[in-house]
């Protein structure tokens, strides 16, 4: 079969170019090793230097009847994989991909051993690795609620100084509620009940915290208090697999309480969230009020879960709507609006739609779903296949690629597509004897009767009796539901056949091609654009791109497709803005450095406060040299742009200087000449914070910077104010500049664990996405600042709203030299190449730092700061 051939090619490519790395980078034909590539934020939390793709795809090999290759892969895992790495990983991702992969591999290894041909040497080695990993994850559950921390250090656990994690307060509902299958299976396989107990406790807590009037749960919850942080509710990102695991836990473990909980939630979902064929998020306290007007791609799993539930009609309806969107764009965008415009244009080769297609075919026997599967395979081969594998789509409208092939592509996508087309004799074991985890790993159903030492008392409280029809056909017998009558499914699909096309017709690509053939002038390309060229500015206006002058002297480019002279010009404008994003992203990746740390070590902090700092591309490299420790002093002038008038104050100290008015390198030279041993540049944009803005690195001034010998770090305004406020209250403040936080002073050993901003990746999962993709490049103060972190994706999508800012004073020939953010607002003329989004112009706040504030106790300052951050996070939750 074609899928087997492709799988062989992919395995060969991974072994040749990537092994033993976690993932294959299919565009550059190399392995993705954490720490060696620019950080992608939370997306990288899945990587633990444990050969992720190899483990995640173990049972896929057996499904594809590659038993010899499976045996070889198991030997490699046992020989090469180390689970004791000093890496902070996602508890959720490590559980479903690595623990689930090991357990799925073990399940099929013992099955093959029983058959007597392969794996005769196997003696539960994968299970022992799974048990080792399970114990490494258990410290994450050390919370008052029983909900796990979202991240854990594989080597050092939680809350130790070396762990660099354990200060998080929030986790997503799916992150805490998608553990029971793997943890219970581990307990049933090994007899160690602790794993199942911990996973059950987390599920019990989530159930108790549901909103009682609506029976819905929110997206994000505080792991200590149980308060809902994000109170919107849906079946997509952040919640999805929580519902899946309630129903599947009933199937695997036979505990009725899980079924009761699922049916209670399902009744609420169908009452409030389901608006056939759409599934729209609502507010848990006001469930009749929609929380947003777009849907994310992860909800594509839900029709498959509805098949397991036995509710086939809405499953067919939603699946058909999703298929129409795919036919429009070749892939399912990460998010799309209720009128089927692209909201987030990325597609990381997610498998959820293929999963639902497989289960619908199993339930209906309708050959229509084979045609759907064929379309998926053709699109993958036509648009995503590259020489070294399959590359994620950076933008489904333009067909641009991302150097990314997640492990779930082999673990799930290949498995479901193969099973969709496979005959019963193609599979060497009975697939019906297993249940699929959310990562499509296979766990045997006989575990329901093995090692049942966990009490199966019904912990469901205040259970509401529902209409009996809600329980009909749970775990359905497909022969009763559909007596070989595929016309039933067709009758449901027919009204939805043109639901997408009616919203937004095609046609612009053909018009564009015809205009080129007729001799029309090619459109302006981003690489050729000059802000000082009047002709270029006139072309921008024709393309619907307007220029907005900001207070700081920059100019922001914003595209409104409806203002373009024609639909063709609107498409040219969209392409121009996307090219600008692409070019600037390439520039950002050239010299990216990891974040640094500023740690306050003097009384009364003693290392408890660690501030995330941006590095510099010049001066002392803190990753290669010993950290710099010293007291801080403000420079005069505060901007550091001329010779200091107070050299005696900064001599032998770490100088504080304000961003702006000159190059970073010039500031560094001035404080170095005054005798400073280091420098901290504080952002002049009041209210900025590393929690809400992408960190960037300070670049040089285009000249030789080898004369700068001192370390230089950058702090956003919020972090900088912590130091400034400490100076006001304590006068003498000592800090440590380093590549990462160090152990606290001995005086603090018996005090409480740090609760400050220790980890630069403290953002919760829902912050993977944002309403605008920011492209940090040059501004008036530093002509070569570049983004340190690209936007993360779990969901990790690139948004369609982008804005470009230009400093008129800069006239470098590089078209990217003066751009900060890019913003598009397209019109629905063609969903393949157009979009319609409202962009917002962001203006800088007062750049001056106020020195006349009333002195406050430092604890109060820290508390206020945390409240400000929380308030900011709550401002646009619907867009995060």
Active site residues: 93, 240, 334, 352
CA distance 180 to 175: 11
Element (H, E) at 29: none
Q: In the 3-class helix/strand/coil scheme, how is 356-377 assigned residue by residue?
A: HHHHHHHHHCCCHHHHHHHHHH
Question: Can you say whether residue 218 is alpha, beta or left, with left for phi > 0 and alpha for psi between -120 and 50 degrees?
Answer: beta
CA distance 617 to 529: 27
Classified as helix, coil or strand, 132 is helix
CB 830 within 8 A of CB 846: no
**Angle subtended at Cα 195 by Cα 189 and Cα 200, rounded to the nearest 5 degrees:** 115
Contacts of 182 (CB under 8 A, 6+ apart): 95, 96, 99, 100, 103, 199, 437, 441
CA distance 22 to 33: 6
Give strand ranges (E) for 454-603.
545-549, 555-559, 596-600
Contacts of 816 (CB under 8 A, 6+ apart): 526, 580, 583, 584, 587, 777, 778
Element (H, E) at 289: none
C-alpha 88: how far from chain center: 15
DSSP state of 413: I
| Nearest residue to 792 via CA among 768, 771, 776, 775 | 768
Contacts of 288 (CB under 8 A, 6+ apart): 272, 282
Element (H, E) at 213: none
How many other C-beta atoms are found inside a 10 Å radius of the C-beta of residue 467? 9
525-548 burial, b for 16+ CB within 10 Å, e for fewer? ebeebebeeeeeeebbbbbbbeee
In the block, tokens 């989004």 appear at 837
| Nearest residue to 74 via CA among 148, 36, 115, 129 | 129
CA distances from 490 to 52, 216, 274, 421 (A): 40, 32, 21, 20
Taking every pair of Cα atoms in the chain, the longest distance, rounded to a whole number of angstroms, is 90
For 677-724, the DSSP string reads SEEEEE-SSTT--TTTS--EEB---SS--TT--S-EEEE-HHHHHHHH
CB 654 within 8 A of CB 604: no
* Phi and psi at residue 294, to the nearest 5°: -140, 165
Query: What's the number of CA atoms in the CB half-sphere (13 Å) around residue 310?
Result: 16
Classified as helix, coil or strand, 434 is strand
In the block, tokens 């406790």 appear at 201
Token couple for 67: 């038993």
CA distance 748 to 731: 21
Token couple for 482: 């559909």
**CB < 8 Å & 24+ apart, contacts of 610-613:** 610/741, 610/754, 610/756, 610/757, 610/758, 611/715, 611/719, 611/722, 611/723, 611/756, 611/757, 612/690, 612/695, 612/719, 612/757, 612/759, 612/760, 613/680, 613/713, 613/714, 613/715, 613/719, 613/737
CB 801 within 8 A of CB 822: no
């Amino acid at each position: 079969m074609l899928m087997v051939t492709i799988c062989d090619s992919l395995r060969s490519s991974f072994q040749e170019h990537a092994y033993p790395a976690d993932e294959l980078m299919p565009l550059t034909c190399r392995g993705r090793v954490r720490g060696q590539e620019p950080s992608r934020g939370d997306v990288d939390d899945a990587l633990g230097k444990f050969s992720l793709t190899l483990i995640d795809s173990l049972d896929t090999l057996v499904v594809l009847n590659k038993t010899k290759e499976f045996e070889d892969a198991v030997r490699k895992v046992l020989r090469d994989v180390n689970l004791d790495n000093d890496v902070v990983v996602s508890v959720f991702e490590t559980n479903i991909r690595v623990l689930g992969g090991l357990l799925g591999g073990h399940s099929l290894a013992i099955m093959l051993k029983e058959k007597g041909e392969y794996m005769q040497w196997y003696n539960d080695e994968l299970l022992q690795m799974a048990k080792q990993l399970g114990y490494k994850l258990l410290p994450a559950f050390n919370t008052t609620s029983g909900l796990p921390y979202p991240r854990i250090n594989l080597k050092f656990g939680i809350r130790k100084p070396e762990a660099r994690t354990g200060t998080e307060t929030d986790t997503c509902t799916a992150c805490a509620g998608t553990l029971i299958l793997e943890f219970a299976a581990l307990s049933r396989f090994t007899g160690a009940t602790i794993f199942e107990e911990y996973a059950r406790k987390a599920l019990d807590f989530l159930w108790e915290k549901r909103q009682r009037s609506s029976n819905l749960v929110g997206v994000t919850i505080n792991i200590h208090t149980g308060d809902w942080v994000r109170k919107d509710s849906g079946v997509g990102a952040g919640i999805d697999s929580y519902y899946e695991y309630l129903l599947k836990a009933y199937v695997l473990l036979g505990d009725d309480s899980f079924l009761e909980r699922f049916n209670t939630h399902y009744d609420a979902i169908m009452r409030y969230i389901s608006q056939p064929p759409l599934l729209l998020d609502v507010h848990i306290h006001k469930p009749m009020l929609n929380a947003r007007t777009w849907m994310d791609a992860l909800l594509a799993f839900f029709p498959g879960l509805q098949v397991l539930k036995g509710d086939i009609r809405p499953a067919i309806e939603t699946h058909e709507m999703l298929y129409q969107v795919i036919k429009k764009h070749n892939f399912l965008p990460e998010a799309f609006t209720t009128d089927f415009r692209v909201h987030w244009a990325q597609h990381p080769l997610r498998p959820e739609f293929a999963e639902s297609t497989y289960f619908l075919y199993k339930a209906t026997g309708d050959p229509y779903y084979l045609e759907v599967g064929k379309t998926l395979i053709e699109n993958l081969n036509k648009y995503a296949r590259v020489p070294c594998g399959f590359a994620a789509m950076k933008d489904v409208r333009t067909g641009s690629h991302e150097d990314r092939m997640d492990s779930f592509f082999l673990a799930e996508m290949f498995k479901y597509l193969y099973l969709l087309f496979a005959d019963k004799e193609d599979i060497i074991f009975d697939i019906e004897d297993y249940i699929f985890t959310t990562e499509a790993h296979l766990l045997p159903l006989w575990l329901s009767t093995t090692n049942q030492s966990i009490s199966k008392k019904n912990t469901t409280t205040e259970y509401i009796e529902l209409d009996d029809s809600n329980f009909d056909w749970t775990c359905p017998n497909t022969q009763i539901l559909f007596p070989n009558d595929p016309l039933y499914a067709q009758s449901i699909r027919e009204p939805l056949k043109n639901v997408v096309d009616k919203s937004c017709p095609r046609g612009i690509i053909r018009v564009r091609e015809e205009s080129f053939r007729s001799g029309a002038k090619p459109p302006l390309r981003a690489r050729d654009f000059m802000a000082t060229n009047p002709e270029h500015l006139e072309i921008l206006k024709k393309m619907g791109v307007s220029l907005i002058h900001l207070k700081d002297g920059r100019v922001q480019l914003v595209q409104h497709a409806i203002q373009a002279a024609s639909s063709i010009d609107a498409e040219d404008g969209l392409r121009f803005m996307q090219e600008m994003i692409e070019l600037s992203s390439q520039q950002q990746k050239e010299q990216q450095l990891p974040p640094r740390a500023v740690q306050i070590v003097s009384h009364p902090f003693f290392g408890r406060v660690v501030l995330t700092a941006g590095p510099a591309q010049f001066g002392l490299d803190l990753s290669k040299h010993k950290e710099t420790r010293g007291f801080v002093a403000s420079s005069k002038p505060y901007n550091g742009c001329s010779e200091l008038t107070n050299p005696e104050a900064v001599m032998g100290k770490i100088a504080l200087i304000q961003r702006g008015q000159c190059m970073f390198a010039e500031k560094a030279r001035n404080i170095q000449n005054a005798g400073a041993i280091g420098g901290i540049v504080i952002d002049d944009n009041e209210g900025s914070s590393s929690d809400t803005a992408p960190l960037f690195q300070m670049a040089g001034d285009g000249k030789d910077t080898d004369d700068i010998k001192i370390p230089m770090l950058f702090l956003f305004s919020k972090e900088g104010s912590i130091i400034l406020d400490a100076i006001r209250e304590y006068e003498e403040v000592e800090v440590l500049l380093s590549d990462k936080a160090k152990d606290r002073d001995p005086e603090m050993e018996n005090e409480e664990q740090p609760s400050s901003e220790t980890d630069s990746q403290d953002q919760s999962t829902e912050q993977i996405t944002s309403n605008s993709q920011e492209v940090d490049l040059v501004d008036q103060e530093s002509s070569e600042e570049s983004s340190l972190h690209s936007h993360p994706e779990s969901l990790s999508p690139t948004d369609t709203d982008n804005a470009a800012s230009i400093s008129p004073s800069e006239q470098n020939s590089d078209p990217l030299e003066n751009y900060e953010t890019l913003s598009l607002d397209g019109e629905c003329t063609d969903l393949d190449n157009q979009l319609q989004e409202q962009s917002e112009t962001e203006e800088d706040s007062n750049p001056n730092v106020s020195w006349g504030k009333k002195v406050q106790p430092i604890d109060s300052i820290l508390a206020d700061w945390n409240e400000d951050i929380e308030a900011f996070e709550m401002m646009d939750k619907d867009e995060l």
